[in-house]
């Protein structure tokens, strides 16, 4: 037994030595592999501006890409290519390496229109000489109404719907006041009491719509769009469509004039007091119309804009006229205001309905889009609401023809209900203006023209896509 102990001791020593050798070899391998992985890593794209899959409010003036390793500036040097939705190459400035940061590559960008763009890049690492290339996409949604949805299925910003709605209601209150004075109570038919009320209503309408309009750029900086980043105030202002400026251009002078009128600084002739808010209000509504879907059409743009403009004008004058009718409600005189207003209200409603149907026909690619898209469902809800005031306007007109005496309280309640529904119709219209309409179904693909002349694709007889790649051995 004593003779076995030395043998057991020697075996234990040998096992311990084997374990130590094994772990030493393992640590040596880990130590040897670690620096290799550090130095052999290829240059990868760390971040970019515009960011990958980002949504921009203002057009970019430069592409900037940052990589994980220094970029080799020697020939052939870094390369940047920008493609639009159709695959057309957009001429960029020369791709350059930042002299203060050798990991950043940049290139100047020309003026871009709204759409989706693809950035293709190729660089060589200055550390290990490896070449790497890649692509990413971004969207520019500028040129549209602030906060509008840019793709089908996307919801517009809530603040954008509210500001557009308040802008429309304020303009309607101002323009409707001028229309009411000009058509319903012209000249000396307007009492001094109603004139004071009407002046205040026009002032509130102009001021409220101007505040709602001017709130849009700051709100863009506070709430980031879906899939995008919140812009700076400068970027938000630069991204505004040109037609947006028609609103403040019309509302600021109207507001200044009405402040002077209400405070008694100046008295205008009655005709001027009617034409000024009416004319400037219609100009402000033109600014809204020029930021609608009709303005973005490539075909039938003129008829679509005219239809949209007539729709906004008719609904605004109708809604604003109802407010001023409520302010000047009286049954005295041979022809009370409600009777005179009913003569023009029904034609305004008819124009609003007809142009609304025309607008839907120009925007929707097919009848099935009415129930197969978010835009179509919202449109159906708006039409359903519009039927109510149309019926009330018709009822009021018929009832007034039958009533020879004073106008009853039931008719006054009917007018108030009509006004409430019109306000909801305006909310529906503001939502529709900011929703992305459905797109038409694309036809069957017969061929694809790609950027590279060496690669082409076409469907084969087996209904599969077959790609052909030609390789030039001399290249």
Give the tokens for residue 447: 């061929």
Residues in the chain: 475
Vertex 55: Cα angle to 113 and 68 (nearest 5): 110
Asked if residue 329 has pLDDT above 80, the reply is no
Same domain? For 190 and 77 the reply is no
- Higher local confidence (pLDDT), 399 or 414: 414
| Structural domain contains residue 129 | yes
Which residues are within 8 A (CB) of 13 and not within 5 positions of it... i.e. 6 or more apart? none
CA 61 – CA 48 distance, rounded (Å):
13
How is 228-274 classified by DSSP, letter by letter?
S-PPPHHHHHHTS-GGGGHHHHHHHHHHHHHHHHHTTS----HHHHH
Looking at the domain assignment, is residue 268 inside a domain?
yes
Mean pLDDT for the stretch of residues 62-82: 88
CATH number, domain with residue 217: 1.20.1630.10
Residue 277 above 90 pLDDT?
A: yes
Pair 120, 204 in one domain: no
Question: Taking residues 217-231, what's their average pLDDT?
Answer: 78
List, in sequence order, every residue forming a beta bridge with 154; answer none if it has no partner.
none
Checking if the pLDDT of 58 tops 70, the result is yes
Q: Using the predicted structure, report yes or no on whether residue 451 has a pLDDT greater than 90.
A: no
Q: In this predicted structure, what is the pLDDT of residue 278?
A: 95
The predicted structure's pLDDT at residue 445: 43
Residue 317 — very low, low, confident or very high, per pLDDT cuts 50/70/90? very high
Q: In which band, very low, low, confident or very high, does the pLDDT at 256 lie, cut at 50, 70 and 90? A: very high
- The percentage of residues in the chain with a pLDDT greater than 70, rounded to a whole number, is 67
Q: Is 443 exposed, middle or buried (0-12, 13-18, 19+ CB in 10 A)?
A: exposed
Whether pLDDT at 51 is above 70? yes
Q: Identify the pLDDT of residue 457.
A: 44
First to last CA, the chain: 81
Q: Do 202 and 179 contact (CB within 8 A), yes or no? A: no
Q: Chain-wide mean pLDDT for the chain?
A: 76
Instruction: Find the range with the poorest average confidence among 59-68, 312-321, 416-425.
Output: 416-425
pLDDT at 345: 83
C-alpha distances in Å from residue 144, one per residue of 21, 240, 295, 355: 71, 7, 9, 22
- Interatomic CA distance for residues 303 and 309, integer angstroms: 10
Q: Are residues 308 and 346 in the same domain?
A: yes
How many distinct structural domains can be found in the chain?
2
CB 82 within 8 A of CB 64: no
Is this structure's pTM higher than 0.85?
no
**Pair of tokens at residue 370:** 């009415």
Q: Which pLDDT score is estimated for 342? A: 79
Which among 27, 48, 24, 170 has a CA at the least distance from the CA of 119?
48
Query: Cα–Cα distance between 311 and 95 in angstroms, integer?
Result: 49
Lowest-confidence segment of 83-92, 223-232, 314-323, 338-347 by average pLDDT: 223-232
Q: Pick the residue with more confidence: 71 or 391?
A: 71
| Residue spans of beta strands (DSSP E) within 86-194 | 89-90, 96-97, 104-108, 115-124, 131-140
Q: What is the side-by-side order of every strand in the sheet holding 455-459?
A: 448-449, 455-459, 465-469
Given a contact cutoff of 8 angstroms between Cβ atoms, the answer to whether 431 and 156 are in contact is yes
- In the predicted model, what is the mean pLDDT of residues 134-148? 75
**Residue 206 located in a structural domain:** yes
Q: Inter-axis angle of helices 158-179 and 301-327, to 10 degrees?
A: 70
Query: Do 311 and 390 have their domain in common?
Result: yes
Cis-peptide into 50, omega within 30 deg: yes
Asked whether residue 167 is domain-assigned, the answer is yes
pLDDT in the model for residue 31: 54
Say if strands 96-97 and 104-108 run parallel, antiparallel, or are unpaired. antiparallel
- pLDDT confidence bin for 352, thresholds 50/70/90: confident
Do 84 and 171 lie in one domain? The reply is: no
449 sits in which H/E element: strand 448-449
Domain of 303 in residue numbering reads as 158-434
The residues, any chain, with a CB within 8 Å of residue 276's CB and separated by 6 or more, are 178, 254, 257, 268
**368 — pLDDT class (breaks 50, 70, 90):** low
**Identity of the highest mean pLDDT range in 53-62, 183-192, 281-290, 357-366:** 281-290
pLDDT of residue 350: 84
> Is residue 364 over pLDDT 60?
yes
Place of tokens 């694709």: 457
Residue 327 and residue 395 in one domain: yes
Per-residue pLDDT at 424: 81
Residue with tokens 């400035």: 93
Please count the other Cβ atoms lying within 10 Å of the Cβ belonging to residue 126: 17
With respect to residue 97, please indicate whether it lies within any of the assigned structural domains: yes
Distance of CA 410 to the CA centre of its chain: 43
Lowest mean pLDDT across 220-234, 245-259, 411-425, 440-454: 440-454
Q: CATH code at 57?
A: 2.60.40.1220
How far is 433 from 152, CA to CA, in rounded Å? Answer: 13
Residue 463 lies in a domain: no
Q: What angle do CA 45, 50, 55 make, to 5 degrees?
A: 125
Q: Which of 97, 88, 93 is nearest to 123 (CA)?
A: 97
Most trustworthy range by pLDDT among 131-145, 243-257, 393-407: 243-257
Residue 31 lies in a domain: no
CA distance 331 to 336: 5
Instruction: Specify whether 133 is located in the same domain as 279.
Output: no
By CB atoms closer than 10 A (0-12, 13-18, 19+), residue 141 is buried
Beta bridge pairs of residue 71: 125
Q: Is the pLDDT of residue 81 over 80?
A: yes
Residue 242: which of 291, 309, 196, 277 has the closest Cα? 291
Q: Are residues 125 and 167 in the same domain?
A: no
35 contacts: CB under 8 Å, gap ≥ 6? none
- The pLDDT value recorded for residue 242 is 84
169 within 8 A of 427, measured Cβ to Cβ: no
The verdict on residue 211 lying in a domain is yes
Residue 200: Cβ within 10 Å count: 15
Instruction: Please check whether residues 202 and 320 belong to one and the same domain.
Output: yes
395 and 313 assigned to the same domain:
yes
- How many angstroms separate the Cα of 280 from the Cα of each of 202, 456, 466? 11, 56, 60
SS3 of residue 223 by DSSP: coil
- Given this model, what pLDDT does residue 309 score? 93
| Residue 168, Cβ density class (10 Å: 0-12 exposed, 13-18 middle, ≥19 buried) | buried
Task: Say what the pLDDT of residue 145 is.
Answer: 73
Nearest to 71 by CA among 140, 11, 130: 130
Q: Which has more pLDDT, 394 or 61?
A: 61
pLDDT of residue 294: 78
Q: Do 199 and 330 sit in the same domain of this protein?
A: yes
> Is 136 in the same domain as 178?
no
For residue 114, give the DSSP letter.
S
């Amino acid at each position: 037994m004593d003779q076995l102990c030395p043998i057991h001791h020697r075996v234990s020593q040998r096992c311990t030595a084997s374990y130590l050798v094994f772990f030493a070899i393992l640590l040596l391998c880990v130590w040897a592999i670690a620096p290799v992985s550090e130095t052999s890593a290829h240059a990868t794209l760390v971040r970019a501006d515009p960011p990958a899959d980002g949504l921009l409010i203002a057009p970019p003036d430069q592409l900037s890409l940052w990589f994980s390793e220094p970029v080799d500036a020697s020939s052939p040097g870094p390369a940047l290519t920008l493609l639009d939705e159709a695959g057309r190459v957009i001429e960029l400035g020369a791709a350059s390496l930042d002299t203060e940061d050798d990991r950043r590559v940049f290139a100047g960008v020309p003026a871009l229109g709204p759409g989706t763009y693809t950035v293709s890049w190729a660089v060589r690492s200055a550390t290990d000489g490896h070449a790497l290339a890649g692509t990413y996409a971004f969207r520019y949604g500028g040129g549209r109404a602030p906060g509008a949805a840019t793709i089908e299925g996307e919801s517009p910003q809530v603040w954008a719907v509210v500001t557009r709605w308040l802008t429309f209601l304020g303009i309607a209150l101002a323009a409707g006041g001028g229309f009411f004075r000009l058509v319903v109570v012209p000249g000396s038919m307007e009492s001094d009491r109603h004139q004071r009320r009407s002046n205040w209503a026009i002032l509130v309408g102009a001021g409220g719509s101007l505040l709602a309009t001017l709130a849009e750029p700051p709100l863009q900086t506070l709430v980031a769009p879906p899939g995008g980043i919140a812009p700076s105030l400068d970027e938000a202002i630069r991204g505004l469509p040109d037609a947006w400026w028609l609103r403040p251009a019309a509302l600021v002078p109207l507001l200044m004039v009405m402040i002077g009128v209400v405070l008694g600084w100046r008295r205008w002739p009655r005709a001027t007091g009617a034409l000024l808010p009416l004319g400037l209000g219609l100009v402000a509504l033109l600014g809204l119309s020029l930021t609608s879907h009709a303005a973005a059409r490539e075909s039938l743009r003129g008829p679509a804009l005219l239809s949209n403009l007539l729709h906004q004008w008719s609904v605004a004058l109708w809604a604003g006229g109802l407010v001023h009718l409520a302010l000047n409600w009286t049954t005295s005189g041979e022809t009370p205001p409600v009777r005179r207003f009913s003569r023009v209200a029904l034609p305004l409603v008819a124009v609003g309905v007809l142009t609304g149907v025309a607008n839907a026909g120009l925007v929707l690619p097919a009848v099935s889009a009415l129930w197969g898209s978010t835009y179509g469902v919202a449109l159906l809800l708006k039409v359903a609401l519009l039927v109510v005031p149309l019926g009330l306007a018709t009822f009021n007109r018929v009832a007034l023809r039958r009533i020879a005496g004073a106008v009853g309280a039931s008719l006054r309640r009917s007018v108030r209900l009509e006004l409430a529904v019109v306000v909801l119709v305006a909310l529906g219209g503001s939502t529709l203006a900011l929703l992305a309409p459905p797109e038409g179904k694309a036809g069957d693909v017969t061929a694809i023209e790609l950027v590279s002349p060496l690669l082409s694709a076409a469907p084969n007889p087996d209904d599969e896509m077959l790609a052909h790649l030609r390789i030039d051995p001399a290249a």
